[in-house]
């Protein structure tokens, strides 16, 4: 899905006139949660690469030293404190925790917005479906939304039918 196209007014002038829909808020929240997961995985990869490089550095140092110096060096140096060749020196591990905290704020804020939104009407969802239905990359999304609309329609029909149906006389307590 190309979310950028549907949230940037330059690519979608409709955004200047139409209020934010609950469906769109949900998409933003999902994208933010996915970004948070990706950053968490990047932090783990970066940490693992630093540890791997530190282990390789320790082995390299150990191989160049005589045995007694190598043993004392192993006692003095921890794997986490060694420099690393594989880890990018511009990426500091502690910064990942700051970025993850910021992303957690974004995810929570979007969830709050979604909870405060009054909800989308069926006509709003149909308009969104028409807007994105033929766009490349949105085929699966459109199919899922059509299924959701069918279920909403069935639910609305059953509610209307229940409201309009005459009361069941077999369960009327006054007839006994």
Left (φ > 0), alpha (ψ -120 to 50) or beta: where does 119 sit?
left
> What one-character-per-residue DSSP string does 34-62 give?
HHHHHHHHHHHHHHHHHHHHHHHHHHHHH
pLDDT in tens, 116-128: 999 999 899 888 8
pLDDT in tens, 65-98: 566 555 555 555 544 444 444 456 667 788 999 9
22-64 and 93-116 helices, crossing angle to 10°: 170
pLDDT at 50 over 50: yes
b or e along 119-155 (b: 16 or more beta carbons within 10 Å of the residue's beta carbon)? Answer: ebeeeebeebbeebeeeeebeebbeebeeeeeeeeee
Structure tokens at 120: 């989308």
Contact indicator for 82, 57 with CB cutoff of 8 Å: yes
pTM exceeding the 0.85 threshold for the entire prediction: no
Q: What percent of the chain has pLDDT over 90?
A: 26
Structure tokens at 128: 């969104």
Going by C-alpha positions, the residue among 98, 102, 84 that lies closest to residue 47 is: 84
């Amino acid at each position: 899905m190309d979310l950028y196209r549907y949230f940037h007014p330059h690519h979608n002038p409709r955004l200047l006139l139409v209020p934010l829909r609950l469906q769109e808020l949900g998409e933003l929240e999902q994208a933010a949660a996915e970004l948070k997961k990706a950053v968490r995985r990047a932090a783990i990869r970066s940490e693992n690469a630093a540890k791997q490089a530190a282990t390789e550095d320790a082995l390299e140092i150990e191989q160049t030293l005589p045995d007694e110096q190598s043993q004392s060096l192993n006692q003095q140096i921890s794997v986490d404190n060694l420099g690393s060749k594989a880890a990018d020196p511009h990426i500091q591990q502690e910064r990942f925790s700051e970025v993850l905290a910021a992303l957690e704020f974004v995810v929570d804020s979007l969830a709050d917005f979604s909870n405060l939104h009054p909800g989308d009407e069926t006509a709003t969802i149909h308009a969104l479906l028409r807007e994105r239905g033929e766009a490349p990359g949105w085929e699966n999304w459109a199919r899922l939304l059509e299924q959701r609309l069918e279920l909403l329609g069935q639910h609305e029909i059953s509610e209307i039918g229940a409201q309009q149906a005459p009361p069941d006389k077999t369960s009327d307590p006054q007839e006994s």
